[in-house]
């Protein structure tokens, strides 16, 4: 039985670490061999309370994203205080993993505490935003190497010509909020790579997604042409289990257009929603794996792609349970490893898709 260097470093008990370490493949290594970096989003309590899960993350991942700990509602109990407790716990785990962090997220229309919504309407919204970003980005400089500075800025249903979402940030500051945020983040840590992240950019055969790609490109072009510090587009990658994997020429062309702006491409919240998938577990797992494979092959082929992060690592811990429960009451299976921490076909599919980049 082999005990990996990371598990030894983590001081994990052999008996507990064993099942995860028996996994035949290591996604982090498969990604690294292809010039990519693979990681997962985590909540601090999972890796602290569940040594077997922690061992799996240590074994598989070279990048850690706090799933919720860097959001405003986690960091900002009130106007005058920051509470870094949860984020620091994730940072401590990342240190154990000898992995950098990808930061999620500084500006989002959700997870904003009520006091901040109020202050955006009645106080100095620019100062609120800049103070927050400066404090948080400075604190984690050198540990958070890339940030989702702005999450989900595009909402075409809000019917603005520029496609921008009428978020609380937009309502308070207008379209300038993007530039204000990116400049503040860059000033706070000039080395950090700064991304705009969004969902609904993945599928070639879903009309609103195809349109959203065009809106996003216009947004990115505008920011780059004004010299705003911006280094990457992050595709969330929340894939649909009940939809064909339409990741073809349209996606490739979109990624090339993004890359042509000098931007890197990240995948930051990859998972497959199996809420409405039919079939037994084996069939579902195979279909989920095919969806992972098709998407990651398409994205990995683009040389500008640098990181792939799944929104969780094992089905034991996934927010899909709350947001997309199955109507048949059976457990959801959206991630590469199962609830017993065993690799599913999706894990092998990811490793193979990473490897395909070396051949392309």
Catalytic residue annotation: 152, 269
Work out how close the CB of 77 gets to ligand 9MR at its nearest, in angstroms, rounded to a whole number.
16
Specify the residue, 7 or 74, whose C-beta has the smaller distance to ligand 9MR.
74
Specify the residue, 7 or 195, whose C-beta has the smaller distance to ligand 9MR.
195
Q: Considering only the stretches 64-72, 158-166, 169-177, 186-194, report the one whose residues sit in contact with ligand 9MR under the rule CB under 6 A.
A: 64-72
Contact 72, 117 (CB under 8 A): no
- Intra-chain end-to-end CA distance of the chain, in Å: 35
Binding mask 68-87 for ligand 9MR (x = CB under 6 A): x--x----------------
Query: Of 281, 278, 270, 295, whose CA–CA distance to 342 is shortest?
Result: 281
C-alpha span between 299 and 306 (Å, rounded): 10
Positions in 174-233 near ligand 9MR (CB under 6 A): none
Specify the residue, 110 or 124, whose C-beta has the smaller distance to ligand 9MR.
110
Work out how close the CB of 110 gets to ligand 9MR at its nearest, in angstroms, rounded to a whole number.
6
Q: Considering only the stretches 67-75, 78-86, 215-223, 251-259, report the one whose residues sit in contact with ligand 9MR under the rule CB under 6 A.
A: 67-75
Q: How many residues bind ligand 9MR (CB under 6 A)?
A: 10
Work out how close the CB of 236 gets to ligand 9MR at its nearest, in angstroms, rounded to a whole number.
6
Specify the residue, 151 or 306, whose C-beta has the smaller distance to ligand 9MR.
151
Contact 309, 94 (CB under 8 A): no
Residue 111 interacts with ligand 9MR (CB under 6 A): yes or no: yes
CA dist 102 → 15, 87, 88, 232 (Å): 31, 12, 14, 12
Contact 350, 27 (CB under 8 A): yes
Work out how close the CB of 357 gets to ligand 9MR at its nearest, in angstroms, rounded to a whole number.
25
Positions in 223-242 near ligand 9MR (CB under 6 A): 236, 238
Residue 67 interacts with ligand 9MR (CB under 6 A): yes or no: yes
Work out how close the CB of 48 gets to ligand 9MR at its nearest, in angstroms, rounded to a whole number.
16
Work out how close the CB of 70 gets to ligand 9MR at its nearest, in angstroms, rounded to a whole number.
10
Residue 268 interacts with ligand 9MR (CB under 6 A): yes or no: no
HSE toward the beta carbon, residue 61, CA cutoff 13 A? 33
Specify the residue, 199 or 352, whose C-beta has the smaller distance to ligand 9MR.
199
Positions in 310-339 near ligand 9MR (CB under 6 A): 319
Residues 6 or more apart in contact with residue 157 via CB below 8 angstroms = none
Q: Considering only the stretches 66-74, 123-131, 285-293, 346-354, report the one whose residues sit in contact with ligand 9MR under the rule CB under 6 A.
A: 66-74
Residue 303: alpha-carbon gap to chain centroid: 19
H-helix or E-strand spanning residue 171: helix 168-173
C-alpha span between 66 and 87 (Å, rounded): 7
Specify the residue, 73 or 134, whose C-beta has the smaller distance to ligand 9MR.
73
Query: Of 234, 179, 232, 177, whose CA–CA distance to 201 is shortest?
Result: 234
Rounded (5°) CA angle 265-268-269? 140
Helix (H, G, I), strand (E, B) or coil at 150: strand
CB atoms within 10 A of CB 283: 11
Contact 164, 219 (CB under 8 A): yes
> 78, 83, 110, 340: which one contacts ligand 9MR (CB under 6 A)?
110
Residue 40 interacts with ligand 9MR (CB under 6 A): yes or no: no
Angle between helices 114-122 and 125-139 (to 10 degrees): 130
Residues that bind ligand 9MR (CB under 6 A): 67-68, 71, 110-111, 151, 236, 238, 269, 319
């Amino acid at each position: 039985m082999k005990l990996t260097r990371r598990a030894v470093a983590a001081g994990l008990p052999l008996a507990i670490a064993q099942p995860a370490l028996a996994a035949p493949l290591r996604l982090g290594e498969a990604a690294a061999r292809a010039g990519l970096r693979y990681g997962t989003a985590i909540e601090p309590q999972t890796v602290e309370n569940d040594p077997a899960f922690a061992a799996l993350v240590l074994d598989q991942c070279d990048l850690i994203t706090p799933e919720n700990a860097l959001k405003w509602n986690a960091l900002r109990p009130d106007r005058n205080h920051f509470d870094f407790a949860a984020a620091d716990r994730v940072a401590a785990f990342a240190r154990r993993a000898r992995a950098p962090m990808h930061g999620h997220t500084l500006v989002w229309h959700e997870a904003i505490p009520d006091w901040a919504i109020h202050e955006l309407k009645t106080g100095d919204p620019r100062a609120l935003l800049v103070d927050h970003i400066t404090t948080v980005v400075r604190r984690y400089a050198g540990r958070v190497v890339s940030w989702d500075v702005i999450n989900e800025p595009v909402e075409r249903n809000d019917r603005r010509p520029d496609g921008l979402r009428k978020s609380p940030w937009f309502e308070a500051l207008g379209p300038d909020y993007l530039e204000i945020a990116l400049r503040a983040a860059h000033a706070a840590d000039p080395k950090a790579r700064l991304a705009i992240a969004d969902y609904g950019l993945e599928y070639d055969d879903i009309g609103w997604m195809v349109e959203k790609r065009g809106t996003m490109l216009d947004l990115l072009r505008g920011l780059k042409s004004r010299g705003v510090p911006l280094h990457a587009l992050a595709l969330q990658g929340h894939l649909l289990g009940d939809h064909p994997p339409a990741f073809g020429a349209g996606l490739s062309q979109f990624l090339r257009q993004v890359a042509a702006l000098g931007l890197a491409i990240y995948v930051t919240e990859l998972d497959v929603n199996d809420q409405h998938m039919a079939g037994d577990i084996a069939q579902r797992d195979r279909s989920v794996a095919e969806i992972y494979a098709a998407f990651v092959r398409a994205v990995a082929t683009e040389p500008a792609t640098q990181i792939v992060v799944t929104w969780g690592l094992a089905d034991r811990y996934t927010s899909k349970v709350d947001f997309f429960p199955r109507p048949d009451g059976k457990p959801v299976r959206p991630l590469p490893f199962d609830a017993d921490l065993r690799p599913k076909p999706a894990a092998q599919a990811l490793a193979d898709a990473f490897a395909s980049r070396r051949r392309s």
